[in-house]
Structure 1
Amino acid sequence: MSQIPLTPFVANFIATAQPLRIGGKMLASTETLEVINPSTGNALAQVARAGKAEIDLAVAAAKDAFENGAWTRMLPNERSRILWRLADLIEERADIFGQLDALDNGKPFHVVRDVDAHWSARHFRYFAGWADKIEGATIPVGTPDRLTYTKAEPLGVCGLITPWNYPLLMAAWKLAPALAAGNSIVLKPSEETPLSALYLADLALEAGLPPGVLNVVPGYGHDAGAALAAHPDVAKIGFTGSTATGRRIVEASVGNLKKVSLEPGRQGGQYHF
């Protein structure tokens, strides 16, 4: 990465202490995370660290956006248009994502720029196409002159937890379907690779996503992740990480019987809380 000159935007982004993205605003926290460049072992950037208090703020912002904001009630074709615009912005800023993920993840710049960023854009476009095709069903019943039908509705606040290995692409995989369905999101990226997720939140606002629909809160699993998994106002958790942490998320979800989607990996404790 040292051989690739940084754009002025990226140089300024990593030199500026990055706040949380909550409710469409940039919010500081009482504690910070030090992001390390794995190719050098040196400190790269400082980002705000979310704990339970910040998770509560983010969930409250997402809940308010879901219950009182425009996203859930927006016509599906309008949601599709915004997600498509976000995909365009990801492709337009592929160089920026390439530099950010190369710096804090260590993968080659061209892999993020040419693969991760473009696949992320394609993923958002795919689910943008689903926004106006989410339908219920009619069900035959034994009672004469009666009609039974189902109506597909968004769940509410979704807590999404992503790992370090594909910072941008993992976020896109989880965000795109949840947003297309009309949910609001609290995204906790890995504490090791939070930069592209924070920038993605900025692009989402630029694309037209209403404030509070996407909130990004870097933090450790044992406090931020645990608080998100156990929060009573979170209707769904989507998690990729270790099997041990996946078990804890299932246990934490029992409080309000929230839906859980897990992609557990190795048995190690990298994402444990």
Structure 2
Amino acid sequence: MTQLPHFQLFIDGTWSEGHAGQTMMTQNPATGEDWASFACAALQDVDRAITAARRALNDPAWRDMTQTQRGKLLYRLADLIEENAQELGRLETTDSGKLLAETASQTAYVGDYYRYYAGLADKIEGAVLPIDKPDMHVFTRREPIGIVAAIVPWNAQMFLTATKLGPALAAGCAVVLKASEVAPAPMLAFARLIEQAGFPAGVVSVVTGDAENCAIPLTRHPDVDRIAFTGGPDTARHVVRNSAESFAVTSLELGGKSPILVFEDADLEGAANGLIAGNFGASGQSCVAGSRGLIHRPILEQLIAVIAEKAANIVVGDPLDAGSHLGPLCTSAQIDKIVTTLATAKTQGAKVHFGGAPVAGAGNYMAPTLVECTSTDTETLQVEMFGPVMSLIPFDTEEEAISMANDTPFGLGSGVFTQNLARAHRVSARLKAGICWINTYRAISPIAPFGGYNQSGYGREAGIDAIHDYTRTKTTWINTSGSPMANPFVMR
């Protein structure tokens, strides 16, 4: 019998099993079978990782490393990621079901995120203040915020890790990275590259495990200074409550029900591709999935026909096969949720144009599905399903489209398809979302901030400002008068 791969925890520069000896199996979504096991962290392992991070922050090997030297380590890490992109992509595909074509290319691309922050590492600057007291020299400096708990879900793991780890390491922080207990293999393998890049022991630890023994102790830990969380709103509420005692600075990148608005002057081919990218790309397993398609009524029927023609050519199959367009969903629970939600939508008058059922056979495969809705209350327009389900609903006026788009507790992504430049500016300015794509969808860059409004979270990842979120500002006052301090009872 072939022994399945096993992944250990990476804590303080060493590989180990969890303190309690607990392990979990991880399934291949394409087959539904166990393919690997991994060690699970216990409270003692979380403590060990935090202790190592605190020691690393005080160790001259990291504390006194110049910002330029930190940048060079990040450049080295970026090179290693690119060199191992195919292997890491294959691991992620096997563990999560996402297409290898996407996981490998996305992994290679996130090398640019580390290079971006490598370049910013020695540009974290303070300032000399033009203070209103001539006998004082006052300046600011930015110092590492401290220990960062970075919590990453199973989808887009390398990307969502880079947006946290890149700026944190550039700023000089120490990081405990918590991988999802669902499909954690690529993150545990990624830790090998951290080791190879030459980061001092304790600067980065990678753990995984369940909520009670790993996630909760990590987010409640009194020594954690910063929490960077990506996941769902329900879990995020627990994270915020867990951080209340330590007052850890927290950022949340959560889910969404992003609207894509298509106006009657839009290029139908481009709009159809945008809707397909936003709903069927990554099998719909994306926080920015454009799962609320708002379509100008005069073109609704024609656009549905274009989408249906394109969807007929979508190949649902093995995610390791270069010919597949849509792979399995990561968990069977997602299939169950979609089936239940579609059943409810049908009772509400929704029409399923194609798809609407799981694909027969082994694995967590769901057919790409298009639902036409008559009411904004339709279940498929309200529930984040994390699967390949596109819901379309007509609008009659620009004002109605904006109102419908903003009628949601979420606000992460949005899209607008129109050839009218004035309308594009006008509508995008009024959409309550952290990201707006015009005549495209689902594009990312290390230069562009990523984050949402309302229940899609707060804080931004990527972009130049994100690095400041991993620093604290210290203000230093120097008395240059040469005279002793005067009256101690009067504030200067």
TM-score normalized by the length of structure 2: 0.50
Q: 1:38 aligns with which of 13, 29, 43?
A: 29
The answer for the alignment partner of 1:65 in structure 2 is 56
5 Å-filtered alignment, 1:33-112, equals 33-112=24-103
- Distance in 2 of aligned mates of 1:112 and 1:256: 36
How many residue pairs were aligned?
256
- Distance in 2 of aligned mates of 1:223 and 1:69: 32
Shift of 1:128: 0.3
- Cα shift readout 1:23-61 (whole Å, capped 9, x = no counterpart): 100011210121111111111111100122211111111
- Distance in 2 of aligned mates of 1:82 and 1:251: 35
Where 1:151 maps in the other structure, the secondary structure is strand
Shift of 1:222: 3.5
Contact 1:157 1:184 in 2 (8 A): yes
The answer for the alignment partner of 1:205 in structure 2 is 195
- Distance in 1 of aligned mates of 2:240 and 2:44: 22
Q: 2:13 aligns with which of 20, 24, 42?
A: 24
- Distance in 2 of aligned mates of 1:118 and 1:16: 24
Shift of 1:175: 0.6
The answer for the alignment partner of 2:223 in structure 1 is 233
- Distance in 2 of aligned mates of 1:203 and 1:69: 22
Contact 1:21 1:217 in 2 (8 A): yes
The answer for the alignment partner of 1:4 in structure 2 is none
The answer for the alignment partner of 1:122 in structure 2 is 112
Question: Is 1:135 the equivalent of 2:87?
Answer: no
5 Å-filtered alignment, 1:219-258, equals 219-258=209-248
Structure 1 gap segments, 5+ residues each: 1-11
Shift of 1:142: 2.2
Contact 2:27 2:35 in 1 (8 A): yes
- Give 1 or 2 for the bigger CA radius of gyration: 2
Shift of 1:244: 1.5
- Distance in 1 of aligned mates of 2:203 and 2:73: 12
- Cα shift readout 1:200-251 (whole Å, capped 9, x = no counterpart): 1111111111111110001123331111111011110000011121122111
Contact 1:21 1:27 in 2 (8 A): yes
Q: 2:168 aligns with which of 170, 174, 178?
A: 178
Q: Percent of aligned positions with the same letter in both sequences?
A: 39
Contact 1:85 1:207 in 2 (8 A): yes
- Cα shift readout 1:57-77 (whole Å, capped 9, x = no counterpart): 111111111112512320111
Shift of 1:169: 1.5
Where 2:107 maps in the other structure, the secondary structure is helix
Shift of 1:150: 1.1
Q: Give the structure with the higher percent helix.
A: 1
TM-score normalized by the length of structure 1: 0.89
- Distance in 2 of aligned mates of 1:148 and 1:252: 37
- Distance in 2 of aligned mates of 1:154 and 1:15: 40
CA RMSD of aligned residues (A): 1.8
Structure 2 gap segments, 5+ residues each: 257-382, 387-492
- Distance in 2 of aligned mates of 1:216 and 1:157: 13
Contact 2:13 2:195 in 1 (8 A): yes
Where 1:232 maps in the other structure, the secondary structure is coil
Contact 1:159 1:228 in 2 (8 A): yes
- Distance in 1 of aligned mates of 2:81 and 2:6: 22
Contact 1:72 1:183 in 2 (8 A): no
Shift of 1:198: 1.2
Where 1:141 maps in the other structure, the secondary structure is coil
2:212 corresponds to which letter in structure 1?
H
- Distance in 2 of aligned mates of 1:214 and 1:15: 27
- Cα shift readout 1:95-142 (whole Å, capped 9, x = no counterpart): 10111010011111121112x112210000000001100011222322
Comparing both chains, which one has the higher relative contact order based on Cα–Cα distances under 8 Å and sequence gaps of 6 or more? 1
1:37 corresponds to which letter in structure 2?
N
The answer for the alignment partner of 1:193 in structure 2 is 183
Name the CA shift for 1:226/1:120 in 2 (closer, same or farther; >3 Å): same
